[in-house]
Amino acid sequence: MATITPGKRLYPNAEGHLILRPGEYGKDNEGHWWCRPPRGDIGTLDDHEVVEHDDHTITVRPSILLEGVWHGSLTFGIWEEV
């Protein structure tokens, strides 16, 4: 059974830092996308295709895999663990 969690997009703070908590994602000032799945640590999405939608959510392909910790997708800002 898949676990579904609403995600939240963050933007860099005044100092330019992107500080992510579980379930959050964002793009840094250099144009790199980062995410922190609901369980697991922060990771870059440089090896993924990221589509930014009009509502500022994102869809990531292929699936996100943190070995032994988390595997799933981020679609229109919704995390789905498989």
- 3-class SS letters over 21-65: CCCEEEECCCCCEEEECCCCCCEECCCCEEEECCCCCEEEEEEEE
pLDDT digits (tens, 9 = 90+) for 7-60: 999 999 999 999 999 999 999 999 999 999 999 899 999 999 999 999 999 999
45 assigned to some structural domain: yes
Work out whether strand 70-75 and strand 43-44 pair parallel, antiparallel, or are unpaired.
unpaired
pTM: 0.93
* Per-residue pLDDT at 68: 84
CA distance 51 to 77: 11
Q: Which domain holds residue 68?
A: 3-10+22-81
* Per-residue pLDDT at 29: 95
17 assigned to some structural domain: no
* Per-residue pLDDT at 66: 87
64 assigned to some structural domain: yes
15 assigned to some structural domain: no
Work out whether strand 58-66 and strand 78-81 pair parallel, antiparallel, or are unpaired.
unpaired
16 assigned to some structural domain: no
34 assigned to some structural domain: yes
* Per-residue pLDDT at 15: 92
67 assigned to some structural domain: yes
Number of domains the chain is built from: 1
